[in-house]
A and B are shown apart, each in its own frame.
Chain A
Amino acid sequence: MDVTKNDSMEIRLSDHVVLVRQAVRKWATDLGFSLVDQTKMITAASELARNTLDYGGGGTVRLELVKQGPRNGLRLTFEDQGPGIPDLEKALTDGYTTGRGMGMGLSGSKRLVNEFEIVSRVGEGTRVTITRWK
């Protein structure tokens, strides 16, 4: 898989979540994503950016245009050095929240993308990578 373009953004403030949505919107449009695909990717990005801020204590997102054979895609990697997630299976269950949310962010964004990977270590942090192909 080749990365043809990349950028990285901070997620430290609630305004940054808005900026991440705007950047993903721009990248997805430039890639020629359909309206529904754009909407799905921006929504997933919004969920994960908010988790990075609210639970991870802030972090970063890396945006990458990826190419695999004839396919082009958008890959986003959210990373924080927060408390980590002790039970990933639970966290990925619809409706599970340790905050005041609806517990739909992780499980829901997984459904909105083609590839979803999560790595989390207690006391070290969390990294979520999502990819959507055109």
Chain B
Amino acid sequence: MERIPILRMGDYLIVTIQVDMHDRVVTTLQDDLTSMIAANGSHGVLIDISCLDIVDSFVGRMIGNIAAMSHVLDAETVVVGMRPAVAITLVELGLSLTGVRTALNVEKGMALLRAATRGRLLEDGDGRDQE
């Protein structure tokens, strides 16, 4: 089955959605991300949606779920690259994506992740020192 690749970069996981996903691909991505956060102890997830020309309630729900689950697993989620037309449509559709951090592009998103997870990286470092 078609799958969205997840890249691991140090403490972070990076996903670039490049296709119009059908619903099962969306659900699989959500499951894959959750298991990878847990398996790698990742502190941040960056989802690049700059290629998506629409976000409907299904994809919106997936993004919300990923943010909620990563929060429980002590990781932060940032969504980057949402197109202006998509943002306008999402608001009118009634999805607010509350609790989801957003940034204009990958660079700004990474900076946001670093700032948000700095404390945790230090904690991990301390943990290692004590071993």
Chain A interfacial positions (CB closer than 8 Å to B): 14-15, 17-18, 21-22, 25, 35-36, 38-40, 42-43, 46-47, 50, 94, 101-102, 104-105, 107-109, 111-112
Contacts and interface: CB of A to CB of B under 8 A. Distances in A.
Interface residues of B, number: 22
Contact of B22 (A17, A35, A94): A17
B108 interface: no
Given A101-B61, A112-B89, A47 B56 contact: yes
A58 to B, nearest CB: 14
A121 B3 CA distance: 39
B88 to A, nearest CB: 6
A78 to B, nearest CB: 14
17 contacts: A17-B23, A18-B20, A18-B21, A22-B20, A38-B85, A39-B53, A43-B54, A43-B56, A47-B93, A94-B94, A101-B57, A101-B58, A102-B60, A102-B61, A104-B57, A104-B94, A108-B93
B93 A112 contact: yes
A114 to B, nearest CB: 13
Dominant SS among interface residues on chain A: helix
B56 A107 contact: no
A15 B1 CA distance: 12
Interface of B: 20-24, 53-58, 60-61, 83, 85-86, 88-89, 92-95
A47 B57 contact: yes
Given A42-B54, A104-B94, A108-B57, A50 B85 contact: no
A47 B54 CA distance: 11
Contact of B54 (A21, A102, A104, A108): A21
Contacts of A38: 53, 85
A41 to B, nearest CB: 9
